Amino acid sequence: MEQWIKTLFDDAILESAAHCFGVEKKDVFLVGGFENFIYGFTKNNQSYILRISHTSHRTIHDISSELDFVRHLSDHGAPVSKPVLSINNQWVEPILAKDGSVFTVTCYQKAKGERPTRAHVTPEFLFNYGKTIGQFHLLTTQYFPETHLQKRFIWDQDPLLVHAKSYLPANDVIIFERFREIVEEINRLPKNNLNYGLIHTDIHMGNFFVSNHELTVFDFDDSAYMHFVSDIAIALFYYIVFMKADDTEKLAKADFFMTHFMKGYLSVYRLPKHDFLEISKFLKLREMVLYIVFFRSTDVKNDEFARRYVETHRDLIIHHTPVIDLNFEKYYT
């Protein structure tokens, strides 16, 4: 999130957001948030999540189409955090900021369970992780947006990617060139109803809770029209990228992850094999996207976590080094 948005956000906006859902500012508490401001509250013994976003990040049309997709998934039994209507019977409420720009607020039922850790990573957990994403993709093939809604954006129309060059340092021209190359490669891939549609695009372990190995997914903020294999790539990417392990151990753990994850995924949805085997392109795309995100949303020089990522991955991006060197064909059985 850009610093100017953090500066613009104040108590008056938070108070208005709380009132939209029938609670007082004193009743909400900060949960966190990287792209948005995330707060929690309890009402009538039910826990909820408030998400407050600036329209420079997502327009009201973007959010309305996001919620339509989430409701489609929920209505067909998918394990998602359900959106909640405001006291004005609206899914999205606009809030005017002091500079005349607009924040939006949405509300969701809090997901069941707890945030997963590496201790949760068992064969059963990974099977259900893959099965959940497979269920989403199956339901995506059956999804048709409400006719009055503006269609959700295509993946490379996300403002982060559209303005990527402006976020990168002047001496990172080569990173932008690598980014353009991978975007062009992905845009040359064939698209059809079996491999492409509206997907979450960010189902890592920070965006779902788990209870008895069952997932409840939230944060569809980045949902976009994209190749289905991207969701699989992102799940693997975030599992391995920050792992403190040598290359041999990382390969073994990635193999374990994919073996059980893909058994779950393929039990529900059969993404065509040739589409699945493009996964390395999407791993590389996510590596670059995260690189850009750090420059947009953090002070890389003074943020040790971001600085380490940039220092580690810059040469890997420049030299086209695979994110992980697996024989992906073995996981499609």
Domain that holds residue 212: 118-331
Is the confidence at residue 34, as pLDDT, over 90? no
Is 272 in the same domain as 149? yes
Is 128 in the same domain as 60? no
Q: What is the pLDDT of residue 95?
A: 97
- Express as a percent the part of the chain with pLDDT over 90: 94
Is 124 in the same domain as 102? no
Is 230 in the same domain as 273? yes
Is the confidence at residue 1, as pLDDT, over 80? no
Dist. CA 271–CA 186, nearest whole Å: 17
Last-in-domain residue among 109, 143, 174: 109
Is 34 in the same domain as 80? yes
pLDDT single digits (tens) 66-92: 999 999 999 999 999 999 999 999 999
Q: In b/e form, how buried is each residue of 80-106, taking b as 16+ CB within 10 angstroms?
A: bbbbbebeeeebbbebebeeeeebbbb
Kindly state the tokens that stand for 294.
């750090």
Residues ≥6 apart with Cβ < 8 Å to 105:
16, 17, 20, 21, 50, 51, 52, 53, 86, 92, 93, 95
Is 16 in the same domain as 89? yes
CATH number of residue 71's parent domain: 3.30.200.20
Is the confidence at residue 258, as pLDDT, over 80? yes
Last-in-domain residue among 62, 88, 109: 109
Is the confidence at residue 138, as pLDDT, over 90? yes
Average pLDDT over residues 253-258: 98
158 forms beta bridges with none
Is the confidence at residue 63, as pLDDT, over 90? yes
pLDDT single digits (tens) 2-26: 888 999 999 999 999 999 999 999 9
CATH number of residue 142's parent domain: 3.90.1200.10
pTM equals 0.95
Is 217 in the same domain as 270? yes
Dist. CA 131–CA 136, nearest whole Å: 9
Is the confidence at residue 161, as pLDDT, over 80? yes
Q: How confident is the model at residue 35 (pLDDT cuts 50, 70, 90)?
A: confident
Is the confidence at residue 266, as pLDDT, over 80? yes
Mean of the per-residue pLDDT values of the chain: 96
Last-in-domain residue among 54, 83, 109: 109
The letter for the amino acid at 312 is: T
Residues ≥6 apart with Cβ < 8 Å to 310:
291, 294, 295, 300
More reliable by pLDDT, 247 or 33: 247
Q: What is the pLDDT of residue 3?
A: 85
Q: How confident is the model at residue 33 (pLDDT cuts 50, 70, 90)?
A: confident
Structural domains in the chain (count): 2
Is 225 in the same domain as 311? yes
Is the confidence at residue 236, as pLDDT, over 90? yes
Q: What is the pLDDT of residue 54?
A: 96
Is the confidence at residue 314, as pLDDT, over 80? yes
Is 33 in the same domain as 155? no
